[in-house]
A and B are shown apart, each in its own frame.
Chain A
């Protein structure tokens, strides 16, 4: 016969057990993988977070070998929102304005806007000078991860 008081303690210990299991699990932080084509010459960590911001805001337009950086974006997706928050620190509209400025002065052409991680991977895999970002959970062997960032970090 379990008394009411015992029920409370059973539930309490059950809570502690679940809480410990929950806390011990890998934190459910959204992670974003910066990817290039497998044939790209960039090594892992060749692009820093700061350089990434330069690339996505149009401050850096060419790879070291002079080839144009093909910027692949997915700003309107959930991954894109996390990426802009964690890496760019500006609104998408603000960044678009900067790219338009570069377009109107002939310094750059616009990034390619994709609707999903899947499309980004397809595009990246086909172009050795392209760079893009996807949710780490979507990472597979069609592309090469060169940097991983915490999507919740500012």
Chain B
């Protein structure tokens, strides 16, 4: 039976060619001893030789972890790392079957490697990984609409080089259950910002306690917003665009965990902190995230939320720029929440993502701040009619509409496809973003944003096409073009902008 099944196998698939070849050879070759190998035999032989040779060459590939140094590697001992991380010259199939003397000539002497030079990131305890990246960006906006004497006029903005990111990251696996992480950011190439510093204790996969300044788990992007080289797109989704954040990115105390299921896993997080404007009496903000990953992590469905837990204030004073939270600076009190869902699917080299978020606000405007804002920022007619009881009566504290409600909404769809070529990875992508915030204004200095705040109704959409080119895994060059559409002065207007972002990863990256 076994022979019969095997024979059936042999007449299907790859063996068929071999059988036919063998039949022809045996029947018609002048000498039986001159049996040629089938091409399919060749594959088997090649793989056998490759694996054999790979074992052979492990003592001669100097840049890799070697048998001898692995023996010296303590399971619980200290370790340092080699510049360039764990990336190392490893034998390809061709290299592996090359004569050993050739390989030895190309590789440094194994004895030259000490433990201090070994690349053992991710393996040993007491490891301190240092890595990071920097990026330089070019932006230019074309035909941006404005209103002059009641008419729409368009003008190009000057082109601009900026340095949005310089991140140095330190990760220390103190023990198998304790870890520390620090993320130092050099924004604009001029100021240093401590984006993250936290410690984590993991008594089990289900309970991990993180404390410090932490990017909260919220949607698909918040935790990875400083990982620009790795995702599609240059700009973050509007939810976490620094011009109009719906909530603060960071929290102080976060409990998270993962529960493995027969198919996939559930992941959760709960977080709390002082709140958007700092500590307030009887206010306990709560952030949460729940997602289900399946298909080996290729598919994610999740929901995230946040409640201010009472009346909160802005984290920034009026006139000091856009808030780093969801509360605008002219509010005396703002009780709000954010809720939404997200989904991601990775099908082969195609990635598709989508998120939807809604943030209802119940607000008490501060009359003095509103008057200052109106006089300094010059809101449009729609915005004035929201802020003032009688928009034609001029800005005065008694004319300010104090109690109000409004919703901020945003959603997006992103898709990208990765092509691997001899020149590296080329990954085209498209994005569609929608954002609506009726309360915001245009002037960033007064806490507004110059996208939704410019629009009559606080609504804009943005469509983007772009491409990521990665000649080597450590370099990502992104070029994209966005079209913004919104209403201005009662008319549908649009403008477009191009961006080029080049980032370089360094240190112990994979």
Contacts and interface: CB of A to CB of B under 8 A. Distances in A.
Contacts of A52: 296
Interface stretch (B91-99, B397-405, B446-454): B91-99
Interface residues of A, number: 80
A91 B349 contact: yes
B54 A77 contact: yes
B470 to A, nearest CB: 8
A108 B44 CA distance: 37
Contacts, number: 264
B54 A116 contact: yes
A54 to B, nearest CB: 5
B155 to A, nearest CB: 37
Interface stretch (B203-211, B302-310, B323-331, B387-395): B203-211
B500 interface: no
Interface in A95-121: 96-101, 103-119
Interface string B417-430: 01010000100000
A74 B295 CA distance: 23
B169 A104 contact: yes
B510 A126 contact: no
Contacts of B420: 91, 93
B100 interface: no
B297 A106 contact: no
B71 interface: yes
Given A12-B27, A115-B90, A24 B205 contact: no
A153 interface: no
A22 B169 CA distance: 56
A63 B85 CA distance: 24
B263 interface: yes
Main SS class of interface, B: mixed
A100 B297 contact: no
B75 A126 contact: yes
A141 interface: no
B6 A90 contact: no
B364 interface: no
Interface in B183-238: 183, 196, 198, 202-205, 207-208, 215, 223-224, 226-227, 229-231
Interface in A26-71: 27-28, 30, 50-54, 57-60, 62-68, 70-71
Nearest to A62: B205
Contact of B51 (A23, A64, A122, A137): A137
B66 A119 contact: yes
A115 B54 contact: yes
B70 A123 contact: yes
B50 A112 contact: no
A112 B10 contact: no
B505 interface: yes
A30 to B, nearest CB: 6
B297 to A, nearest CB: 3
A28 B15 CA distance: 11
Interface of A: 8, 11-12, 14-15, 18-20, 22-25, 27-28, 30, 50-54, 57-60, 62-68, 70-72, 74, 76-79, 81-82, 88-91, 93-94, 96-101, 103-119, 122-123, 126-130, 135, 137-138
24 contacts: A15-B27, A18-B22, A23-B8, A24-B3, A57-B296, A60-B260, A62-B202, A65-B205, A66-B205, A66-B207, A67-B177, A67-B202, A78-B93, A93-B425, A96-B510, A103-B129, A106-B181, A109-B173, A111-B510, A112-B120, A113-B65, A115-B61, A115-B65, A123-B123
Given A70-B123, A90-B346, A97-B230, 18 more contacts: A22-B10, A52-B296, A58-B297, A65-B204, A66-B208, A78-B96, A89-B348, A93-B420, A98-B230, A101-B227, A101-B230, A103-B227, A105-B215, A113-B119, A119-B70, A123-B70, A135-B51, A137-B51
